[in-house]
Amino acid sequence: MKEKNDRTISVNKSVKPAHISVRKAPKLVVNATYYISFGNNEVAPCILLDIMDNHKIRVGLKNNSKIGYGDVYVVLNREIGSSPEEAVINEQISNV
């Protein structure tokens, strides 16, 4: 694992996304730090802002701003990870 800058982390290419049937959501705690992957084994730290229902959550990407987070996304709870590697494993991709 290698940190590229304040917002992204590169995860070893040997870590691959898992099939949706075996992905598991981490224990969810509002305001806790998690990781989210948007592809190419690039992971960004995020903050859990809200648990919307049984499956959807709202996360804010961490950055250096005064409010503590940047872009906000609504994702499924099993699409984030408690570690950068888990985020890649839980990454939502169209063919998995």
Residue 20: CATH number of its domain: 2.30.30
Query: Does a structural domain hold residue 76?
Result: yes
Query: Does a structural domain hold residue 59?
Result: yes
pTM (two decimals)? 0.84
Looking at residues 62-67, what average pLDDT do you find?
56
Round the average pLDDT of the chain to a whole number and report it. 85
Query: Does a structural domain hold residue 61?
Result: yes
Query: Does a structural domain hold residue 31?
Result: yes
Distance from C-alpha of 6 to C-alpha of 51, rounded to nearest angstrom: 25
Distance from C-alpha of 30 to C-alpha of 8, rounded to nearest angstrom: 21
Angle at the Cα of 91 from the Cα atoms of 53 and 75, rounded to 5 degrees: 25
Window from 3-7, 69-73, 81-85 with minimum mean pLDDT: 3-7
pLDDT band at 34 (very low <50, low <70, confident <90, very high): very high
Query: Does a structural domain hold residue 94?
Result: no
Query: Does a structural domain hold residue 80?
Result: yes
Query: Does a structural domain hold residue 95?
Result: no
Find all residues with CB under 8 Å of 82, minimum gap 6, and list them: 26, 27, 34, 35
| Total count of domains within the chain | 1
Domain membership of residue 81 as a residue range: 2-89
Distance from C-alpha of 19 to C-alpha of 27, rounded to nearest angstrom: 20
